[in-house]
Chains A and B, each alone.
Chain A
Amino acid sequence: MIDKTVASLAEAVAGIKDGATILVAGFGAVGAPDELADALIEQGARDLVIVSNNAGNRSNGLAGLIIAGRVRKVICSYPRSTDSTAFDDAFKAGKIELELVPQGTISERMRCAAAGLGGFYSPVGVGTKLAEGKELREIDGRAYVFEKPLKGDVALLKADRADRWGNLTYRKSARNFNPTMAMAADLSIVQVREIVQLGALDPEAIVTPGIFIDRVVAVGGRR
């Protein structure tokens, strides 16, 4: 029998090691697994490399991990937020490293890792500072820059509903990075609003099939 559900947030983040590369889903605060990130603060792992679109909101979740000094490096497209200074403060104090990557490139690098590919040539960033030091190649008359796959040890995700196989559905724009990150980590952990009976999710509506998911924890919350 397959049962990926766990009873608590502590159980969901158990075993995450110091130095791990962690994919944290969300676009701003939407679709971000704040409860899992808060549980990771409690769990204690440090020296983390975070891959995320942004660098946290308010002072909890990812921002809380940064404030607690657990993050060595952030790989993201846009670290600034109007409602949080957690990253800015750590950056100015020289306590955190930043690798800036165009938003679609981060996403596609993770998709490549998920798909077992060794990278891709992208037109994005050619001729800019963000392509410095990267291999350039002309294909059919257009310039491309080589981008490597980006794989996580762990993915922290948020979805709307799950079953015990780890099949997931999402709500509106809270889907964002979740499906790609779910596929691109060795250990994919998802917090959901509710866990339903196997068979209750419409197979046509399942966005992330359970093969990509390892642990599911219900946290409740509004619909």
Chain B
Amino acid sequence: MKPLSRRQIAWRAAQDLEDGSYVNLGIGLPTLVADFIPDGREIVFHSENGILGLGKAPPPGEGDPDLINAGKGAASLVPGGAFFHHTDAFLMIRGGHLDYSLLGAFEVSETGDLANWTTEDPDYPPGVGGAMDLAAGAKEVRVLCEHTTKDGQPRIRQRCHYPLTAAGVVRRVYTNLAVLDIGPAGVVVREMVEGLGLAALQAKTEARLQLADDWRPLAPPPL
């Protein structure tokens, strides 16, 4: 059994973005998705700070100080890209104009609740940024995360333990072990890594899992 690398999780999520989609990539793991869009598909990336057509990071030293991404790193604009102000950027997010919002997560519940904004660490002031807007507004919210925490606790829960970012919004989760759909039937395993088996996957998952009849092996290329 071979868990996916972070780049492989991003690769798998990228395969599901249709040609012509408008997509916001959250900070962290979701940002890597931009590197793996299949050839021949035009995907327009949105950035909360007023960019459609966000391009790759420029080579070191060649960035424009006035052009950054949501993580505040140097960015570029693709041909056809546009700038607009913050209120319009969030109108696009909140108003259902984005096809997909891909987000990281601390926890996802079996009803699609998302917790990704605070662990309530008393040593730091809390920050929410655009997380709640991105979770509430896109046509479809998908999550990319490791299947368990560093100390082995499940992230796919019956109920989230951390404070919620939004309730009932997550429809698909890509982890290093599986691709899961969340819907009226509960949490359905669409794909899982070879040699794992449902019982072993269930042991790492708090939510009750069902195996799709047409489930497939999760086998990305080496990256």
Contact = CB atoms under 8 A, between A and B. Distances in A.
A173 B67 contact: yes
Interface residues of B, number: 41
B132 A27 contact: no
Interface string A62-84: 00000000000000011110100
Contacts of B50: 173, 175-176
Interface stretch (A14-22, A39-47, A96-104, A133-141): A96-104
Nearest to A179: B85
Contact of B90 (A107, A125, A128, A207): A107
Interface stretch (B35-43, B144-152, B162-170): B162-170
A128 B87 contact: no
A124 B83 contact: no
B127 A27 contact: no
Nearest to A160: B66
Contacts of B64: 172
B171 to A, nearest CB: 16
B10 interface: no
Interface string A172-191: 11111111100000000000
A92 B124 CA distance: 8
A128 B130 contact: no
A203 interface: no
Given A27-B49, A173-B68, A122 B125 contact: no
A87 interface: yes
A144 to B, nearest CB: 10
A111 B149 CA distance: 40
A128 B127 contact: no
Contact of A171 (B51, B66, B129): B66
B28 interface: no
A88 interface: yes
A82 B73 CA distance: 11
B87 A111 contact: yes
A123 B95 CA distance: 10
A176 B127 contact: no
B75 A173 contact: yes
Nearest to A25: B86
A128 B167 CA distance: 8
Nearest to B92: A104
Contacts of B67: 172-173
B66 A30 contact: yes
Contacts of B140: none
A173 B85 contact: no
A130 B125 contact: no
B9 interface: no
B133 A102 contact: yes
B93 interface: yes
B48 to A, nearest CB: 7
B127 A77 contact: yes
B65 A128 contact: no
A126 B165 CA distance: 9
A28 B132 CA distance: 19
Nearest to B64: A172
Interface string A99-133: 01111110110110000000000111111111000
Contacts of B126: 98, 100
Residue in B49, B64, B93 with the greatest tally of chain A CB atoms within 10 Å? B49
A205 B124 CA distance: 42
A102 B128 contact: yes
Contacts of B91: 104, 108
Interface string A27-38: 111110000000
Interface of B: 47-51, 64-68, 72, 75, 77, 83-87, 89-91, 93-94, 123-133, 136-137, 163-167
Nearest first, the 8 closest Cβ-Cβ pairs linking A and B are A104-B90, A78-B127, A104-B133, A127-B167, A179-B85, A78-B129, A174-B66, A28-B72
9 contacts: A78-B129, A79-B125, A100-B127, A104-B90, A104-B94, A128-B166, A172-B77, A175-B85, A180-B87
